[in-house]
Structure formats: C-alpha cells, structure tokens
Amino acid sequence: MNTESNRPARRWMCGALITSSLILGAAACGGGDASGPELSAAGERGKSLSSSSGCAGCHGTDGQGGVGPTWQGLAGAEVELADGTMVVADEEYLIRAIKEPSADLRADYPVQMPRNNLDDEQVADIVAYINDLAAVTPGG
C-alpha cells in the first residue's frame, strides 16, 4: 500500500477537522455570538480588566456570576444586602462595591470580595462593563 499518495488527503482532512473544531469551539465559548451585548469601548476595557485582574474568577468570564453575584442585569436592579436592606445597584453603589468591598455586603454571598488595587479609571471601565451587561438576563 502506498502511503505517500494518501498524505495530501490526510493533511486536508486534518486541516478541515482542526478548522471545524476551532469554529465550533469559538461558538461554544461565545466567540462570534451575535446575541451577546454590544460593549462600549469602556465596557470592552472593563471586560478585559475583569479577566486580567481576577474579577472574572468569581463573577464569571461573561459576568454570569459564580462565587460572586452576577453582573448580568445588575446595573439599575434592586439588590438585597446582608443586613436585609434593599438598594439600587446604581453607579454610586457599583463604584463603592468595587472600591470598598466590605461596605455593602450582598445577601446570599458569604465569600467577601477581596480588596483590590484598581484605580478610578479601571473602576469606571468595570462599571461600564457592568452597565453594558444590564440588558442581559442572568443565566440567559
């Protein structure tokens, strides 16, 4: 059997499988998903910063939540604090929650967010990202 004549076909099949896998993988991870929110320039920076600074480890790579509360649908929503009070997650609340993690502890989240070294511009970019996620239905 001449395996030399089969090499080009095998290379083509291998290339096609790799390409298909990359496309399917990107779709599964949300790459190219047109249903996601369109992010502002500041929101894009905030999303990138949330990944590089560790925020996404608790709040999810797309703000979907986990150990920490979801950012999807958060901006403008009422949230319950650990002391039972309800507050609106407006710009002031979001900035305070990021800058002073122990100021307004959320109910149902026993793990307190650690302090961070984000500057005002970085906090503003993350708040912009959270605002861009306002129209996203949590878990959707």
- Looking at the chain, the whole-number percentage of residues with pLDDT higher than 90 is 61
Give mean pLDDT, residues 116-136. 95
Q: How far apart are CA 82 and CA 49, in angstroms?
A: 27
What are 70-120's pLDDT values in tens digits? 999 999 999 999 999 999 999 999 999 999 998 889 999 888 899 999 999
| Residue 1 confidence (pLDDT) | 52
Which residues have C-beta within 8 Å of that of residue 68, sequence separation ≥ 6? 58, 59, 109, 111, 113
Give mean pLDDT, residues 117-140. 91
Q: Which of 77, 124, 134, 84 is nearest to 104 (CA)?
A: 84
Q: What is the pTM of this model?
A: 0.72
- Looking at the chain, the whole-number percentage of residues with pLDDT higher than 70 is 73
DSSP H or E segment with residue 28? helix 7-28
